[in-house]
Every structure is written in structure tokens, then in C-alpha cells.
Amino acid sequence: MSEIGALLHAGLLVSDLARAKTFYEAVLGLKLYPHRPDLPYPGEWYELGNGQQLHLMQLPNPDAASVRPEHGGRDRHIALAVRNMAALKSRLDAAGVRYTASQSGRAALFCRDPDANTLEFVEIS
């Protein structure tokens, strides 16, 4: 039996922290996690609940030139729970963010942040 019990955070590379903050805060509505340590590069942490965070790190991306699949479900991604998919779609539409529905038939969608990091949103009750 594994001693691993939870995913505590996911880290994403961003090229422009201000642009990324606009997406994650204004478009997605995430709230800053106030306890980010003093690290030697710019970044932000966001609270996801249950002791989980999303870490943005403004660092060079070694994969910046790689070609990404059109559908995010066929790319590396993180999955985030959302309680109101219709409200999320409205926010994404208002911001001009393209997204695709899950091809599995689940109540889920995929979009990319301004740095092409793939995010999956799964509706939970």
C-alpha cells in the first residue's frame, strides 16, 4: 500500500506573470494563497481548497517550442473541480478563451492558459 495520500500542489510555468495572474484571477476567479515563501523567481500560489494549491512560476519553459495537440484531453494537464460549469463557460466565453468538451461524455471541458498549459474542469455536485 502506498504512503502517498494526496496531490498537494501543481506547478505551472508561465512566461508573463501579470498576464497569467489576469487569467487565473479575473477569468477563473482563483484566490491567492498568502503564504508563498520568498523564492528566487517571480510567482504566485492559489488556494484550491483542502490544502491544495496551484503554483505559477515565471521561469523559462524548456518545452515552449513543442507542438501541442488541439484537444487538451490528449495533452498533459491538471484537472480542477468546478461546481457550476455553465458559469465557468460564461466566464471563458466573455474572456474569449477557447475550450473543448471532454470527448468521454463527462461534464468536463479543457482550455489552455495564456502559456498553453492545459486545464481540465470537471463538474462536481
Q: Is residue 2 part of a domain?
A: no
Q: Is residue 32 part of a domain?
A: yes
Report the Cα–Cα distance between both ends of the chain, in Å, rounded. Answer: 30
Reply yes or no on whether the pLDDT at 23 is more than 80: yes
CB 18 within 8 Å of CB 58: no
Give the domain range for residue 110: 9-123
CB 58 within 8 Å of CB 42: yes
Q: Give 1's pLDDT tier (boundaries 50, 70, 90).
A: low
Residue labelled with grid coordinates 492559489: 46
Q: pLDDT at position 66, please?
A: 85
Q: pLDDT at position 69, please?
A: 86
CB 46 within 8 Å of CB 33: yes
For residues 120 and 80, what is the distance between their CA atoms, to the nearest angstrom? 6
Q: What is the pTM of this model?
A: 0.92
CATH number, domain at 84? 3.10.180.10
Q: Is residue 3 part of a domain?
A: no
Q: pLDDT at position 73, please?
A: 86
For residues 123 and 108, what is the distance between their CA atoms, to the nearest angstrom? 6
Mean pLDDT for 83-101 is 96
Q: pLDDT at position 98, please?
A: 96
Q: Coil, strand, or helix at residue 52?
A: strand
pLDDT digit string, tens, across residues 58-68: 999 888 778 88
Q: What percent of the residues of the chain are helix, what percent strand, and what percent coil, each to the nearest 5?
A: 20, 35, 45
More confident residue, 106 or 19: 19
Count of domains forming the chain:
1
For residues 15 and 61, what is the distance between their CA atoms, to the nearest angstrom? 8
Mean pLDDT for 99-122 is 94
